[in-house]
Amino acid sequence: MKKISVVAIACVAMSCGAYAAGPGGFSGGENVILTVQQAKGMNDNSKVWVEGAIIQKNGDEKYLFQDSTGTIMVEIDDDAWHGLVIGPTDTVRIYGEVDHGLFDTEIDIDYIEKMN
């Protein structure tokens, strides 16, 4: 019985120490900001970060995004805006995934951030 108590106390002590250090997570493989040209060459469903400007609205939740290497259509769901108001002169960073369609490639946006 004493052995079980010692083991239980040791387990609790170790878990408290780990908890006090804070939550863990993955380290390394940091996200790199890509260009539109690079994003177009990525595999379907690849996670991407691109920085540039939304220059035009092209329908319901569809926008034309541009950086120094070109343009790509992006799909931004209404809830991804988080109240941001963005114009064509604003620099934004968008996080999403590549979506290769039958005729074109776009980025399906998960999150958008205004940079200026």
CATH (residue range 33-114): 2.40.50.200
pLDDT in tens, 90-103: 999 999 999 999 99
CA 87 to each of CA 49, 90, 91, 103: distance values in angstroms, whole numbers, following the listed order: 19, 5, 9, 28
pLDDT at res. 24: 59
pLDDT in tens, 39-76: 999 999 999 999 999 999 999 999 999 999 999 999 99
Tokens encoding 58 = 């092209």
Given pLDDT bands bounded at 50, 70 and 90, which one contains residue 32? confident
Task: Enter the pTM of the model.
Answer: 0.72
Q: From CA 39, how far away is CA 49, in angstroms rounded?
A: 9
